[in-house]
């Protein structure tokens, strides 16, 4: 069930998605709402789970992991035990920025950040040493055309 957001909530959330460091005063000024009313709306969105957290977005190259890799995983095992083991392994690997169970031919898609191809090879070897896979292949991102964390409101 989606939360009921009015236009004011969407405006506030839009600002926070662009810059979570904005103060309630700055937001209230931009949306033309009192500071207290703005703060109450933000707290309500936090309490209802609309706002799950606030983070800093680091520059991948600046912190030493400029290479983004899309890893395609297929498995012949679809039992609960295998899925739990796979998820535990993947959740424990800091290089994995996103992991998705897919429909169709592909079973899983992993979004991975590493320093370079040798670092990806080390990641690959750690994965296959811990969980049985039918196939794993990688596509290296050549150009990032669009990357955002902001959801369409």
Q: Is the pTM of this model over 0.75?
A: yes
Whether the predicted pLDDT of 3 surpasses 90: no
pLDDT over 70 percentage in the chain? 98
User: Cβ neighbours of residue 82 under 8 Å, at least 6 residues apart?
Assistant: 75, 131, 132
d(CA 50, CA 30): 20
Q: Where are the domains of the chain?
A: 7-47, 67-140
Quote the pLDDT of residue 60: 96
Pick the CATH number of 67-140 from 3.30.230.10, 3.30.70.920, 2.60.40.10, 3.40.50.300: 3.30.70.920
Quote the pLDDT of residue 4: 87
Residue 2 pLDDT level (bands cut at 50, 70, 90)? low
- CA distances for 101 relative to 89, 92, 108, 144, 148, angstroms: 14, 17, 5, 23, 21
Q: Which CATH class is domain 7-47?
A: mainly alpha
The DSSP 8-state label assigned to residue 150 in this structure reads P
Quote the pLDDT of residue 128: 95
Residue 70 pLDDT level (bands cut at 50, 70, 90)? very high
Rounded to an integer, the average pLDDT of 11-21 is: 96
Quote the pLDDT of residue 93: 98
Closest CA to 95 of 54, 65, 132, 128: 65
């Amino acid at each position: 069930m989606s939360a009921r957001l009015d236009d004011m909530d969407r405006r506030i959330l839009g600002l926070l998605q662009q810059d979570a460091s904005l103060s309630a005063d700055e937001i209230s000024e931009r949306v033309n709402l009192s500071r207290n009313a703005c703060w109450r709306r933000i707290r309500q969105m936090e309490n209802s789970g609309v706002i799950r957290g606030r983070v800093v977005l680091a520059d991948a190259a600046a912190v030493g992991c400029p290479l983004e890799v899309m890893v395609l995983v297929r498995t012949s095992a679809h039992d609960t035990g295998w899925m739990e083991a796979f998820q535990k392994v993947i959740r424990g690997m800091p290089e994995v920025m996103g992991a998705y169970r897919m429909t169709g031919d592909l079973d899983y898609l992993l979004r991975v950040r590493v320093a370079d191809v040798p670092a990806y090879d080390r990641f690959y070897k750690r994965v296959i040493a811990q969980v049985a896979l039918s196939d794993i292949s990688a596509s290296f991102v050549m150009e990032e055309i669009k990357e955002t964390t902001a959801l369409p409101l």
